Amino acid sequence: MKRNKLICGIAALMLALCMPYAGADADTIEMPTQDEIAAFFAAHPWSTSKLMTYAVEPSYSGTYTVGSLSQESQQEVLNCINCIRFAAGLPADITVNEEYAKAAQAATLVNAANNVLSHTPARPAGMPETIYQLGKNGAGSSNLSRGRQTLCASVVGGFMPDSDNSNIDRLGHRRWILNPDMLYTGFGKTDLYYAMFSIDRNRRAAFSGDYIAWPPQNMPYALYNVSSRYPFSVTLCGSYDTAQRDYVKIEMRSEKTGKIYQLDSSCNDYDYYLNVDTAYYGIPNCIIFNPGVMFAEDDAVTVTVSGITKNGVPAPITYTVHFFDTEPPLRGDCTLDGKVSARDPQTALVAYTEEFSGNGSGLTARQMKAADVNGDGQLSASDAQYILIYYTENVVSGNAVSWEQLLGRT
Q: What tens digit of pLDDT does each residue of 123-137 get? A: 999 999 999 999 999
The residues pairing with 146 across neighbouring beta strands, listed in sequence order, are: 193
The arithmetic mean of pLDDT across residues 314-329, rounded, is: 92
Can you tell me the mean pLDDT for 214-228? Answer: 95
Q: Are 295 and 281 in contact (CB under 8 A)?
A: no
CB 189 within 8 Å of CB 121: no
Percent of the chain whose pLDDT exceeds 90: 79
In DSSP notation, 96-107 reads E-HHHHHHHHHH
In this structure, how many other beta carbons lie within 10 angstroms of the beta carbon of residue 216? Answer: 23
- Residues 285-311, mean pLDDT to the nearest whole number: 96
DSSP calls for 24-81 = --GGGS-PPPHHHHHHHHHHS---SSSPP-EEE--B-SSS-B--EE-HHHHHHHHHHH
DSSP 121: P
> What's the mean pLDDT in 18-45?
69
Region 233-237 average pLDDT: 97
At residue 335 the predicted structure's pLDDT band, cuts being 50, 70 and 90, is confident
Per-residue pLDDT, 176:
98
pLDDT of residue 293: 96
Amino acid at residue number 224:
Y
Phi first, then psi: give them for residue 206, nearest 5 degrees. -75, 140
Q: How far is CA 360 from CA 91, 227, 354, 356, in A?
A: 40, 30, 6, 8
Report the pLDDT averaged over residues 288-299: 94
Mean pLDDT calculated for residue range 389-397: 93
Question: What is the pLDDT at residue 35?
Answer: 87
pLDDT at 24 over 50: no
Select the more confidently predicted residue: 239 or 359. 239
> Is the pLDDT assigned to residue 62 strictly greater than 90?
no
What the chain holds in terms of domains, given with CATH numbers, is: 11-324 (3.40.33.10), 343-406 (no CATH)
Length of the chain equals 410
pLDDT, residue 21, reads: 31
Q: What is the mean pLDDT of residues 203-227?
A: 94
DSSP H or E stretch at residue 213: strand 211-214
* Position 409 confidence tier, pLDDT thresholds 50, 70, 90: low
How does DSSP classify residue 392?
I
**Confidence tier at 356 by pLDDT (50, 70, 90):** confident
- pTM for the whole thing? 0.80
Residue 215, preceding bond cis, omega within 30 degrees? Answer: yes
DSSP readout, 125-192?
Answer: TT--HHHHHHHHHHHTTEEEEESSSSHHHHIIIIITT--STTTTTT-HHHHHHT-TT--EE-EEEETT
Q: Among residues of the chain, what percentage have pLDDT more than 70? A: 92
Report d(CA 188, CA 186) in Å as an integer. 7
Does the pLDDT of residue 5 top 90, yes or no? no
Give the model's confidence band at 337: pLDDT under 50 very low, under 70 low, under 90 confident, else very high: confident
Report the b/e string of 71-90 with b at 16+ CB within 10 A: eebbbbbbbbbbbbbbbbbb
What is the arithmetic mean of pLDDT over 357-361? 83
Which residues, other chains included, contact 71 with Cβ-Cβ below 8 Å and sequence gap of 6+? 55
Tell me what the mean pLDDT of segment 364-373 comes to. 83
Average pLDDT of the chain, as a whole number: 90
pLDDT band at 256 (very low <50, low <70, confident <90, very high): very high
- Model confidence pLDDT, tens digit, residues 34-47: 989 999 999 999 99
CA distances from 75 to 36, 78, 167, 249, 302 (A): 21, 5, 27, 40, 35
User: Residue 29 has what pLDDT?
Assistant: 73
Contact 220, 142 (CB under 8 A): no
Q: At what angle do helices 34-43 and 71-87 cross, to 10 degrees?
A: 170
Give how far Cα 55 sits from Cα of 136, 150, 258, 320, 371, Å. 22, 16, 52, 43, 46
393 secondary structure, DSSP code: I
Identify the residue with better confidence: 366 or 55.
55
